[in-house]
Structure 1
Amino acid sequence: MSETNQFDNILPVAPLKIAALDSCIDFAKKVNKHLVKFRRTANKQHRDNIYFQEYAQDSYLVKCSCPRFGTGEAKGRYEESVRGSDLFIMVDVCNYSITYKVCGHENHMSPDDHYQDLKRMISAATGKAHRINVVVPFLYEGRQHKRSNRESLDCAIALQELRNMGVNNIITFDAHDPRVQNAIPLNGFDNFQPPYQFIKALLRTEPELKVDNEHLMIIAPDEGAMERAVYFSNVLGIDLGMFYKRRDYSTIINGKNPIVAHEFLGDSLVGKDVIIIDDMISSGGSMLDVAKQMKERGAEHVYVCCTFGLFTDGFEKFDDYYEKGFITRIVTTNLNYRSPELLSKPYYTEADMTKFLARIIDTLNHDFSADSINTPTEKIRKLIAKQSR
């Protein structure tokens, strides 16, 4: 059955509505366009049925806002009814480009500010929407997912807070550690991965890339990236290499034990292209070090695929490594805010996730199993087969 008509004769849970905060409104508009296209042809035979009257719409976005007072305090507000709807609230907690005034001073919104706005929109819909789903592509406080000594456990607390506010499902991508969902074992928590979008974007911009064991190797830059890298390696049928970080546990700098060296485990890289897989590029120091070592070990081209391109320390080092030939291309998704400067870089490629997220929302709105969209193995193999012709 094709993707377009897989929900024929299946009732949605409730009328679909999407509330996108300012942090991701442009992204949400693209998702909305895909949803409108999906439903233009699906379930056409039931349009006269009262249960399908709100099925095909010109738009599923609802007008909402979080206006602020002069003190910086805010409130969440819907400008149209969400009663009885299957409401999906979308937020990008990494969008630092949005500002607001506090007593005349301009502040950039932090992840904490975005999270507070998310709670405001949930509060404004609680008791009215049939079901509340939260789409947080970059899981808020996902990097603080476990406790060491006397530390806070922010991600678990946030998930429990959302549950207590009436959220039914939480949708995220490439969570730093998906086991944090154990904090809310009775709630829906869906963690999706973008491997198909990575390969599609990479092959589009690098058509000469040969995906076979003789010419390509997958690299995990650390222990945490092993599961992602193993999946890529198995699906593509190519070898896997791994770095592990040797740290100085006698010293703490910026809250972390500093990395002394990256040690490599794997076969020879001489003459091979490599794809480095990870969940995010933060400052990028570790990723750049791994890329440099790949080249020093004889790799031909180094491609970096990360779900979230944060680039918290800017692009100077990446520009330098690109000019020196240590990296050939960086692929990240459009799930988080990316500055215009990044989009203009010659080494940057975007993996578009809007159609994938639209399919996820459509699937959950029908209360249908997400397995069909969360296992892209066959799609990846068809893509590789088409490219190799």
Structure 2
Amino acid sequence: MTNNFISNETPIVGKLSIISIISMKGCEGITAKIDEYLRAFRGYEDTETYVTHVTCPRFGTGEGKCVIDETVRGHDVYIICDVFNYGVTYKMYGVENHMSPDDHYQDLKRVIAAMGGKARRVTVVMPMLYEGRQHRRNGRESLDAALMLQELVHMGVSNIITFDAHDPRISNAIPLAGFDDVQATYQMIKALVRAVPDISLNKKDTIVISPDEGGMSRCMYYSSVLKLDLGMFYKRRDYSVIVNGKNPIEAHEYLGRDVNGKDVIIVDDMISSGESVIDVANNLKKQGAKRIFVFASFGLFCNGLECFDKAAADGIVDKIFTTNLIYRNPDLATREWYCEVDMSKYISLLIDTLNHDETISSLLNPVTKIKNLVSKLENK
């Protein structure tokens, strides 16, 4: 196996070392796959690993520290960090606690601090951006995502790689540092073609829908590269009331072409409770939509899977596609309506290419690969 995005004559920049924060148990699986791909790219399948062993133990009071078991001096370090892994627990005064995003973020900073500035270059791969939904300030409130990025850069992080940022303009907080917002567009389309062999990516048969106005940019990309029509819902909110920190949604109103008899692809960055996407899907079904497929980079499913079980049983939602970039509810694997999109090879290509100091522009914009995939589907 080879990485076609780099030249054989390009020198490697520093010794490659991936650090997985071991206490974040959801990272171990994807890190092992990334390591396997990297060793295959470089012909080291049986001889060495790029994973550096790290532990983040905690004391009985809940305090913690980081211990790196191997040297990283002069290494090009890539830290794989899932701050939304609620499956990790620790004991505090004898009580079992689930790790929050704040706990994981503190462990990330401990790893960077434990390296003591000895690494040649540090890149943080944080698939779902910590505090990414707190990306702008409305009134007297904190701007957490910007503070996080500035803090990491101040600690010596040279580049941050995230996926499908809630608002990519948050990169303006660190204008002199690297910030790559990566999309899973090609992987999502490929997973759909494999899971639904009879799908037709033709504008007569399929339409792309954004569940809200904030997600229009990512849907416009899908619409452009697939040459499909585009529709949008806007959320009518009650601004006189605040529930759980936000104004409740009164209704979803549709703007766009007729969906009657068409397959619909709903594209969003995340599924949190799932209420919005199910409401949108239900609205589309009432308008005569044929099948409904949901693309979401991150499947949080904060309120459980029961509402999606019901939606699938009622024929409202056919398939939901989310990536393996963050921790997933183990029960998802048993659901027929769920399809997991593996991103480990893509991350391996990004790391391998960056480690050679080559451009990742073609990796970030896979238009040619998408067009070839659609062409094969049409010929089939």
Q: Would the TM-score normalized by the shorter structure come out above 0.5?
A: yes
Distance 1:77 1:197, change over 3 A: same
Deviation at 1:58, TM superposition (A): 2.2
Partner of 1:10: 10
The residue identity in structure 1 corresponding to 2:213 is: E
Query: Conserved in 2, the CA contact under 8 Å of 1:16 and 1:86?
Result: yes
Superimposed CA distance per residue, residues 20-46 of structure 1 (whole angstroms, 9 cap, x where no aligned partner) = 0132111100011111111119xxxxx
Partner of 1:51: none
In structure 1, distance between residues paired with 2:201 and 2:127? 29
Partner of 1:106: 96
Q: Does 2:376 align with 1:386?
A: yes
Secondary structure, counterpart of 1:211 in structure 2:
coil
Deviation at 1:56, TM superposition (A): 10
Deviation at 1:3, TM superposition (A): 3.6
Query: Conserved in 1, the CA contact under 8 Å of 2:6 and 2:358?
Result: no
Partner of 2:327: 337
Partner of 1:211: 201
Partner of 2:30: 27
Secondary structure, counterpart of 2:52 in structure 1:
coil
Partner of 1:47: none
Query: Residues 257-296 of structure 1 correspond to what in structure 2 (within 5 A)?
Result: 257-296=247-286
Partner of 1:46: none
Query: Residues 309-328 of structure 1 correspond to what in structure 2 (within 5 A)?
Result: 309-328=299-318
The residue identity in structure 2 corresponding to 1:15 is: K
Deviation at 1:57, TM superposition (A): 6.0
Q: Does 2:26 align with 1:36?
A: no
In structure 1, distance between residues paired with 2:43 and 2:124? 25
Partner of 2:135: 145
Partner of 1:154: 144
Secondary structure, counterpart of 1:358 in structure 2:
helix
Partner of 2:229: 239
In structure 1, distance between residues paired with 2:186 and 2:48? 29
Query: Equivalent of 1:87, from 77, 96, 99?
Result: 77
Deviation at 1:5, TM superposition (A): 6.8
Superimposed CA distance per residue, residues 170-221 of structure 1 (whole angstroms, 9 cap, x where no aligned partner) = 1100010011111111001111000000011111110011110110000011
Deviation at 1:7, TM superposition (A): 2.7
The residue identity in structure 2 corresponding to 1:267 is: R
In structure 1, distance between residues paired with 2:214 and 2:356? 34
Superimposed CA distance per residue, residues 326-359 of structure 1 (whole angstroms, 9 cap, x where no aligned partner) = 0000000000001211121110001110000000
The residue identity in structure 2 corresponding to 1:88 is: Y
Deviation at 1:369, TM superposition (A): 1.1
In structure 2, distance between residues paired with 1:158 and 1:282? 22
Secondary structure, counterpart of 1:277 in structure 2:
strand
Query: Conserved in 1, the CA contact under 8 Å of 2:6 and 2:353?
Result: no
Partner of 2:185: 195
Query: Residues 167-178 of structure 1 correspond to what in structure 2 (within 5 A)?
Result: 167-178=157-168
In structure 2, distance between residues paired with 1:76 and 1:243? 46
Query: Conserved in 2, the CA contact under 8 Å of 1:12 and 1:366?
Result: yes
Query: Conserved in 2, the CA contact under 8 Å of 1:169 and 1:187?
Result: yes
When the two chains are superposed, the root-mean-square deviation of aligned CA atoms in Å is 1.4
In structure 2, distance between residues paired with 1:114 and 1:83? 24
The residue identity in structure 1 corresponding to 2:150 is: Q
Secondary structure, counterpart of 1:294 in structure 2:
helix
In structure 1, distance between residues paired with 2:216 and 2:128? 19
In structure 1, distance between residues paired with 2:297 and 2:105? 20
TM-score scaled by structure 2?
0.96
In structure 2, distance between residues paired with 1:315 and 1:56? 40
Deviation at 1:385, TM superposition (A): 1.3
The residue identity in structure 2 corresponding to 1:92 is: D
Query: Conserved in 2, the CA contact under 8 Å of 1:126 and 1:166?
Result: no
Q: Which ranges in structure 1 are unaligned for 5 or more consecutive residues?
A: 42-54
Q: Which ranges in structure 2 are unaligned for 5 or more consecutive residues?
A: none
Secondary structure, counterpart of 2:257 in structure 1:
coil
Query: Conserved in 2, the CA contact under 8 Å of 1:96 and 1:109?
Result: yes
In structure 1, distance between residues paired with 2:154 and 2:230? 42
Secondary structure, counterpart of 2:204 in structure 1:
coil
Partner of 1:370: 360
In structure 2, distance between residues paired with 1:343 and 1:113? 27
The residue identity in structure 2 corresponding to 1:33 is: E
In structure 2, distance between residues paired with 1:376 and 1:126? 37
TM-score scaled by structure 1?
0.94
Distance 1:82 1:56, change over 3 A: farther
Query: Equivalent of 1:134, from 124, 138, 152?
Result: 124
Secondary structure, counterpart of 1:208 in structure 2:
coil
In structure 1, distance between residues paired with 2:171 and 2:5? 32
In structure 2, distance between residues paired with 1:7 and 1:56? 23
In structure 2, distance between residues paired with 1:221 and 1:163? 34
The 4+ residue runs of structure 1 with deviation greater than 4 A are none
